[in-house]
Structure 1
């Protein structure tokens, strides 16, 4: 498994009301990924990105970060081998990703994700 990108997942109560801060004040571009519970703001010039999440649509907990990988099955097998708690099973989501959530030994939950064709 190779990590290809990491997005911080920030909890917000309301994405539209947070938009002015992230787009207006910080000057990040709203990528508007087409879901009402999560969106991404980024700066292509600096390769900076952050995701705002109101609540995860299918998982029981919200992650603190989404980690894109090139081999989600390998990442899951390695997490099992190491004895890490899987909080949300490997799932093919309707928005075009396969993902699972893993709890790090420090208690933080991470969304391990791979886009699918």
Structure 2
């Protein structure tokens, strides 16, 4: 098997609202679209996104009334402070401010108009404590 791309499919109430959010703020472009459907892509390593309208017949009957929930769409990047500032300046609500976890993960979150949580992550060397000294694992 050779995987040539990764795509995440999200079921939402308003395809156009999520499509605008991902294209205007996150650099995606439309690859294909039809009633209740949009396929979005980026030229880098980010996963492609398919947006499907809740209730669309292409979904299995037991999934047609579900929405994307309990899901975090996470993107790993560099320059996380600049990205948070760019999104904030563009009027995107930061739903989890930038923070750093003890294991070396720096992250913040935004939420699209359909409630899809998008998390941005940058990895740094975690601080470790040896005796009375605190140092970076990269040192």
Q: Normalising TM by the smaller chain, what interval?
A: 0.3 to 0.5
Q: Which has the higher contact order (CA 8 A, sep 6+)?
A: 1
Q: Output the TM-score relative to the length of structure 1.
A: 0.44
